């Protein structure tokens, strides 16, 4: 089955990634055409539009890892807000749709809001991305100054943490570095937790994986 992207129709077979040259206005037109559809996903950067149709594997892993984050936050008694799907946009510069995002330190700043004004309101504290089709580039989150990005790729969780001066004037000095621990769960080996939960989810189901994680956390108290 072929991918079709025209002014009248957008269709991508599962797992397909399509890269098109295009302007910010082209990106907005395609976004409007897609409406509330959850697939394909769309992003814009540097005059390029990228469309991706997720595989079922993608959605399952997103769900499990997001549930892991929620369980860990609950375990720590941390309040939070969580969103999916969500579109992050900086006009003429960037447009991206993270798989899942969490407001942890800044949850109060967006509590109760139906719309987020990117560039004025804070960005998510943590973004989760599943990369099965080489669609994700962690640097797409630099313009938004997302403090931490979890990227699950090739059956491994990689934790990226933002480094440098986060002021608008110092944007060029920002970078993401790979870390061995999360700033939000410094005493928990989240890579190991995610691997274990995904293993149980695939051998049994997601609910079994989450119940086992809750049991393990409770036994460590």
| Domain of residue 167, CATH code | 3.90.1570
- Do both 12 and 60 map to the same domain? no
158-167 pLDDT per residue, tens:
999 999 866 5
| Residues ≥6 apart with Cβ < 8 Å to 104 | 73, 78, 80, 125, 126, 184
Q: How many domains does the chain have?
A: 2
Residue 74's domain comprises 55-219
State how far the Cα of 217 lies from the Cα of 185, in Å rounded to an integer.
Answer: 13
pLDDT score, position 2: 67
- Do both 98 and 171 map to the same domain? yes
* β-strands 126-131, 100-103 pairing: antiparallel
Say if CB 101 and CB 128 are below 8 A apart.
Answer: yes
Stated pTM of the model:
0.89
- Do both 117 and 128 map to the same domain? yes
- Do both 75 and 163 map to the same domain? yes
State how far the Cα of 35 lies from the Cα of 38, in Å rounded to an integer.
Answer: 9
CB atoms within 10 A of CB 181: 14
Say if CB 185 and CB 76 are below 8 A apart.
Answer: yes
- Do both 44 and 62 map to the same domain? no
- Do both 170 and 193 map to the same domain? yes
Residues of the chain under the 50 pLDDT cut? none
């Amino acid at each position: 089955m072929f991918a079709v992207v025209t002014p009248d129709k957008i269709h991508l077979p599962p797992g397909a990634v399509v890269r098109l040259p295009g302007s910010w206005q082209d990106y907005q037109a395609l976004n409007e055409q897609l409406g509330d559809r959850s697939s394909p996903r769309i992003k814009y950067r540097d005059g390029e539009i990228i469309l991706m149709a997720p595989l079922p594997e993608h959605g399952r892993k997103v769900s499990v890892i997001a549930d892991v984050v929620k369980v860990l936050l609950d375990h720590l008694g941390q309040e939070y807000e969580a969103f999916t799907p969500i579109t992050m946009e900086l006009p003429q510069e960037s447009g991206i749709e993270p798989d899942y995002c969490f407001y942890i330190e800044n949850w109060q700043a967006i509590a109760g809001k139906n719309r987020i004004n990117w560039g004025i309101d804070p960005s998510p504290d943590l973004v989760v991305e599943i990369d099965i089709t080489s669609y994700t580039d962690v640097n797409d989150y630099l313009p938004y100054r997302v403090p931490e990005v979890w990227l699950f790729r090739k059956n491994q969780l990689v934790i990226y943490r933002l480094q440098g001066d986060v002021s608008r004037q110092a944007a060029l000095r920002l970078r993401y570095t790979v870390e061995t621990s999360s700033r939000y769960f410094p005493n928990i080996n989240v890579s190991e937790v995610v691997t274990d939960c995904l293993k149980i989810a695939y051998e049994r189901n997601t609910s079994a994986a989450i119940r086992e994680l809750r049991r393990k956390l409770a036994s460590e108290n």
